[in-house]
Amino acid sequence: MSGTTNHLRAGVVGFTGYSGAELVGILKRHPGATPVLVEHRAQTADEAPVFDDGTERRPLSAEGVAGLDVVFLATSAEVSIESAPMILKAGVRVIDLSGAFRLRTKANYQRWYGAEHAAEELLAGAAYGLPEFYRDKLPGQKLISNPGCYPTAANLAIRPLVEEGIFDKAAGIVCDAKSGVSGAGKKPSQKTHFSEAVENFSAYAVQSHRHVPEVLMNSGLDEAEFSFTAQLLPLHRGILESIYLRTREAMSHADLAAVYARHYANEPFVRIYPEGRFPDLRAVQQTNFCDIGFRTDPQTKRVTIIAAIDNLVKGAAGQAVQNMNLVFGLEETAGLL
């Protein structure tokens, strides 16, 4: 239950989903943790694996989670809001991968998630688990809110520019985001039906995605300065965001590289590309890296930034394990390189 524990027992609720299954896979390879499957509901026959690998299973209950060091909630916001208080009360830390505890106020949650928040009392104490910004606040935390997939890439790319006052606020920042279909989860729908999504590409939640407030809160942008569109790529995993802005002063590639270096030179999971190179999804799939490439145009001051992550790893399960490592005082990269 602390950094002195030799080996963590880490429960995973929602282990049949894409993020949950990714989590179990990472934890199996982790030198300092072992996954425990925590069953929120009975599995159907279809979900049962053909070969049982002997991973321990427990029910989602106070007794079920007793003795675990941490429980990951790879569930919907509704299930997280319902389960987190019980788990915390049982004295077990929670790392929540849903959007339940990412916003700070009930009103904001109501606006973007369209529902009452039934565990309002936890909002203030939840730590936003983006280690590159909030690493110092994580050790010992009881409730970690794991960032959304889109905001992880966007914040890592944008925040240094806001902090250093580099960008032209009058022009604003555009973030054109594209995600693989796994971002929509495992539940079938018309939009994610194979025959609808293949050979197709579409925008959704144009200027209205619930991840927008997460970017604003953590990057320091105002709502009026930020345009965001989410789009569905016909592939399984990966997010690429193309970010457009103008700088106040003319900047060369080296100038902007220096900005990023000041923020990320020692970050194990942020890679800044040299001039003329840009990340594609292949570069980050199955990794916990956030890769960032950019082009500046000193004459017009326009900058284009390309940021890529694997939505299931740095955008979900990998970052959750990175957070676990920090909460419990393990090596930050354990199980992730």
CB 235 within 8 A of CB 308: no
Select the residue interacting with its own copies from 95, 240, 290, 321 (CB under 8 A): 240
The count of other CB atoms within 10 Å of the CB of residue 120 is 12
Closer of 182 and 219 to its own copies (Cβ)? 182
Tokens 């209950």, located at residue:
61
Non-local CB neighbours of 298 within 8 Å, separated by 6+ positions: 250, 251, 252
Using CB under 8 A as the binding rule, whether residue 282 contacts its own copies is answered as yes
* Ranges within 251-280 binding its own copies (CB under 8 A): 271, 273-274, 277-280
Min. distance of Cβ 203 from its own copies in angstroms?
Answer: 5
Distances (CA, A) of 311 to 19, 33, 166: 9, 22, 28
Closer of 164 and 223 to its own copies (Cβ)? 223
Select the residue interacting with its own copies from 39, 196, 267, 332 (CB under 8 A): 196
The count of other CB atoms within 10 Å of the CB of residue 108 is 15
Select the residue interacting with its own copies from 105, 110, 189, 252 (CB under 8 A): 189
Q: Any bridge partners for residue 37, and if so which? A: 12, 57
Two structure tokens written together for 39: 């069953």
Give the whole-angstrom CA distance, residue 281 versus residue 308: 6
Sole window of 33-41, 76-84, 109-117, 224-232 interacting with its own copies (rule: CB under 8 A): 224-232
Kindly list the catalytic residues.
Answer: 149
| Residue ranges in contact with its own copies by CB under 8 A | 18, 46, 50-51, 170-172, 174, 176, 178, 180-182, 186-190, 192-203, 206-208, 223-224, 227, 229, 231, 233-238, 240, 242, 244, 246, 271, 273-274, 277-283, 285, 295, 297, 299-300, 302, 304, 306
